[in-house]
Amino acid sequence: MSGAGAPVLTVDGRGLHVVVVAASWHTQVMDGLLDGARRALRESGATWSEVRVPGSFELPVAAARVAGLPDGAAGDPSARRPDAVVALGVVIRGGTPHFDYVCSAATTGLVDVSVSTGIPVGFGLLTCDDEAQALDRAGLPGSREDKGHEAVQAAVATAVALR
């Protein structure tokens, strides 16, 4: 498991706004990731909104759009540019190279969003060999890890550090 050696983060995100961009494939796993993310956001005190996209391949374009919008975008004066974005998704290896292309494109795209906008992007994209690995990382009852929670903590902690 990759959880060994992970830092224990306690983050005060009061005053921050986070946008969670979440894929829709693999409903059970995504429900767990979203629950963990929401719990971490409540614990941090940050406000948040959510954007759903079809799959993990679409995460970078949605993250880029929300990270690049100026305050008051789309005619909504209450809208504000997020202090952090959290991307949640899951890709499970199949019998074709599709897995490699989607994982590589999504990862590179999310890094590009973060670097080009200066807004932290929490990486909650599970790239698993099988469904059992995804379930074990989804933060569900019986899971050994809670990657949705961890992705929020990392994004909020980075946003605080960059203040």
- Is 48 annotated in a binding site? The answer is no
Helix %, strand %, coil % of the chain (to 5): 45, 20, 35
Instruction: Report the C-alpha gap between 107 and 118 in whole angstroms.
Output: 16
- Is 123 annotated in a binding site? The answer is yes
**Which residues are marked as active site?**
98
Residue closest to 22 by CA, chosen among 128, 132, 122: 122
H or E segment and range at residue 18: strand 17-22
- Is 56 annotated in a binding site? The answer is yes
- Is 95 annotated in a binding site? The answer is yes
- Is 25 annotated in a binding site? The answer is yes
- Is 139 annotated in a binding site? The answer is no
- Is 96 annotated in a binding site? The answer is yes
Distances (CA, A) of 113 to 47, 73, 118: 21, 18, 8
- Is 92 annotated in a binding site? The answer is yes
Identity of residue 77: P
Residue with tokens 């795209």: 109
Binding region for (2S)-2-hydroxy-3-oxobutyl phosphate:
95-96, 137
Binding region for 5-amino-6-(D-ribitylamino)uracil:
25, 56-58, 90-92, 123
Binding region:
25, 56-58, 90-92, 95-96, 123, 137
